[in-house]
C-alpha cells in the first residue's frame, strides 16, 4: 500500500514507544472479541431468534465452514480476588455431574436445530474447541471423559484443529496431563498471573513457581502443540522490579504463547475485587512502567508481538497466522482458525451464528430452568445491522491483519469508504501524526495500515470505527486498553 506523502501523515522522523504516548492512550476501551461488543446485547433477542439463526446455518448444508465450540465450566474450588469471570465457588464436586447432564441437553437442542439429529446420519464439523471457566480442571478425570465423549458423539472433530483447555496449575499433575492428551486436547493455557509469592498471597492464588515449571516440562514431554501462560500486571503489591523478576522466570519457562493482561480494578462491578486493598495497587505510572518493560523484555526474548496483549514464539501457529494474514478474532481472543460460527455452551457462554450474537443465562438456576422447558438458555443477544457488519469487517481487519484496503471494503459492501467513514478518517489523521497508522487516500489503491508502533495501540485505532462508542463516551465499563 502506498503511503500518503503529506508530511503530517507520514513524517520522516522515527516514532518510538514513549511514556508520553503510553499515558496519552491509557484510556478505557473494548477488547473487540466481537463488534458490536457484548455490552450492546439486548434481551429482545431470545431463544426463538437463536433457533432461527441455527436453522439457517443448518440449511447451508455441507458447504458451511466448521464450527468453533466454547464450553463454559463455571466451578472453582477457591476464589481469586482479581477475577471478573462468571464462576461458582464450591467444594461440592457433585454439582459438576448435574451440570454435565444439562450441557448434554443443550447440545441435543443444537443438533436438532442444525438438522443433525442421530437419524440424520451426520455430525456438524468443528475445528476449534475451548474449555474455559471458572476452572475446567475442576472436573475430575471421569467427568472430563464423559464431557468429551458427549461432544465427540455430537460433533466431528476435524484433524488439525485447535482443541484447548484452561488449566489451573493447582488442580493438575502429570497424570492428569496424560488424560488431557488422551482426550484429544492439543493446547493448554496455564493461569499464572505472577510468580511473586507476596502478590500471589494478596490475590489469594498461591502456586509455587516450581509447580508451574514442572507442569510445563511434563506437558512438553507429552507433545502438546502449544502452551500458553497468562500474566496480569497491575495487581496489588506488584512493582516494576517485582514484575521484572516474574518476566525473567517466564523467559526461563519459555512458553509458546503469552497473554499479558492489565488488571482492571472494578470492585463496584465485581464483588471478589472488594477483597483487594486498593492502597496496595500500583499507580498508573508504575503500571505503565511494567507494560513498557514487558513489551521490551518479551520481544528481546524473541517473542512476536501478535497484537493487543498476545505474544508468541515465531514458530507458534499464532505468529505464523499473523505473518500469513490468516489471523482471526473471536470471544476467546486471537485465533488461527478461519472466521467461523461459534457455539457457546454452558452458563453465560457467548456465541455467534451468522449475523447474530447470543449469550446464555448467567445463573445456574435460569440456565437449568430454560433447558427443563426444552428451550435454548439464551437470555440476550443481537441481530447485527448492515452498518454493524460493515464496521465489524473494518475493525476485525485492523485488529487481525493490521491493514485494510478501501477497495476491498467498497466491493464487499457497495459503499464508498472515504465518504462512509469521512469522520473516522479525520480522526485517524491525528493517530497518523502520532505514528500509529499510515493513510493512503488514493481512489483505487488506498487504505489504512497499522504501523509497528501502532500495534501497541490497536484497540485505540479500532475504537475510531466503533459507532456505539463514539455516541456513548461512558467507557468506564471497559478495561484500560494498556
| Binding site, annotated residues for [4Fe-4S] cluster | 76, 80, 83
CA distances from 133 to 136, 359, 435 (A): 6, 15, 38
Whether 50 and 356 have beta carbons less than 8 Å apart is answered as: yes
| Rounded to 5°, angle at Cα 210 from 80 and 249 | 85
| Among 186, 187, 112, 176, CA closest to 144 | 176
* Nearest-angstrom CA–CA distance, 109 and 103: 10
Whether 193 and 203 have beta carbons less than 8 Å apart is answered as: yes
| Among 134, 139, 30, CA closest to 76 | 134
Q: Residue 179, Cβ neighbours under 10 Å: how many? A: 17
CA distances from 264 to 234, 259, 335, 474 (A): 8, 15, 24, 16
* Residue 396 φ then ψ, to 5°: -70, -35
* Nearest-angstrom CA–CA distance, 207 and 35: 36
Task: Detail the residues annotated as belonging to a binding site.
Answer: 70, 76, 80, 82-84, 133-135, 166, 193, 205, 230, 264, 350
C-alpha cell at 346: 454452558
Task: Dump the DSSP string for 64-97.
Answer: SPPEEEEEEE-EESS--TT--S--EE-S-THHHH
Q: What's the Rg (C-alpha) of the chain?
A: 22
* Nearest-angstrom CA–CA distance, 377 and 379: 6
Task: Detail the residues annotated as belonging to a binding site for S-adenosyl-L-methionine.
Answer: 70, 82-84, 133-135, 166, 193, 205, 230, 264, 350
DSSP-assigned beta bridge partners for residue 229: 190, 258
Amino acid at each position: 500500500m502506498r503511503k500518503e506523502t503529506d508530511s503530517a501523515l507520514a513524517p520522516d522522523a522515527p516514532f518510538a514507544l514513549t511514556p508520553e504516548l503510553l499515558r496519552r492512550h491509557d484510556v478505557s476501551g473494548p477488547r473487540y472479541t466481537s463488534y458490536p461488543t457484548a455490552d450492546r446485547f439486548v434481551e429482545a433477542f431470545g431463544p426463538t431468534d437463536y433457533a432461527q439463526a441455527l436453522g439457517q446455518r443448518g440449511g447451508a448444508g455441507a458447504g458451511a465452514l466448521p464450527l468453533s465450540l466454547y464450553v463454559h465450566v463455571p466451578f472453582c474450588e477457591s476464589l481469586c480476588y482479581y477475577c471478573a469471570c462468571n464462576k461458582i465457588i464450591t467444594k461440592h464436586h457433585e454439582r459438576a455431574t448435574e451440570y454435565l447432564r444439562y450441557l448434554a441437553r443443550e447440545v441435543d437442542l443444537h443438533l436438532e436445530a442444525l438438522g443433525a439429529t442421530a437419524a440424520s446420519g451426520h455430525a456438524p464439523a468443528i475445528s476449534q474447541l475451548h474449555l474455559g471457566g471458572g476452572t475446567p480442571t475442576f472436573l475430575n478425570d471421569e467427568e472430563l471423559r464423559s464431557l468429551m465423549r458427549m461432544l465427540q458423539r455430537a460433533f466431528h472433530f476435524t484433524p488439525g484443529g485447535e482443541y484447548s483447555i484452561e488449566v489451573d496449575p493447582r488442580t493438575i499433575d502429570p497424570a492428569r496431563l496424560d488424560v488431557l492428551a488422551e482426550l484429544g486436547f492439543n493446547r493448554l493455557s496455564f493461569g499464572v498471573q505472577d510468580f511473586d509469592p507476596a502478590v500471589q498471597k494478596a490475590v489469594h492464588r498461591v502456586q509455587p513457581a516450581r509447580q508451574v515449571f514442572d507442569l510445563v516440562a511434563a506437558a512438553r514431554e507429552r507433545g502438546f502443540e502449544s502452551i500458553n501462560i497468562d500474566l496480569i500486571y497491575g495487581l496489588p503489591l506488584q512493582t516494576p522490579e517485582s514484575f521484572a523478576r516474574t518476566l525473567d522466570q517466564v523467559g526461563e519457562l519459555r512458553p509458546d504463547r503469552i497473554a499479558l493482561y492489565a488488571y482492571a480494578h472494578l470492585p463496584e462491578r465485581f464483588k471478589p475485587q472488594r477483597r483487594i486493598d486498593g492502597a496496595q495497587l500500583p499507580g498508573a505510572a508504575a503500571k505503565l512502567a511494567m507494560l513498557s518493560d514487558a513489551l521490551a523484555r518479551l520481544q528481546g526474548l524473541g517473542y512476536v508481538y501478535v497484537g493487543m496483549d498476545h505474544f508468541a514464539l515465531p514458530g507458534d501457529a499464532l505468529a505464523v497466522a499473523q505473518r500469513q494474514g490468516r489471523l482471526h478474532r473471536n470471544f476467546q481472543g486471537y485465533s488461527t482458525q478461519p472466521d467461523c460460527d461459534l457455539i457457546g455452551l454452558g452458563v453465560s457462554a457467548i456465541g455467534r451464528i451468522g449475523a447474530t450474537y447470543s449469550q446464555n443465562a448467567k445463573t445456574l438456576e435460569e440456565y437449568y430452568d430454560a433447558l427443563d422447558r426444552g428451550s435454548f438458555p439464551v437470555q440476550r443477544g443481537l441481530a447485527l445491522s448492515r452498518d454493524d457488519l460493515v464496521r465489524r469487517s473494518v475493525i476485525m481487519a485492523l485488529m487481525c491483519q493490521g491493514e485494510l484496503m478501501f477497495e476491498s471494503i467498497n466491493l464487499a459492501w457497495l459503499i464508498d469508504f472515504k465518504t462512509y467513514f469521512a469522520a473516522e478518517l479525520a480522526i485517524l489523521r491525528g493517530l497518523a501524526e502520532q505514528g500509529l497508522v499510515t493513510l493512503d487516500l488514493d481512489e483505487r489503491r488506498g487504505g489504512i495500515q497499522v504501523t509497528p508502533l501502532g500495534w501497541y495501540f490497536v484497540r485505540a485505532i479500532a475504537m475510531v470505527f466503533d459507532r456505539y462508542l463514539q455516541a456513548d463516551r461512558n467507557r468506564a465499563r471497559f478495561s484500560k486498553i494498556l
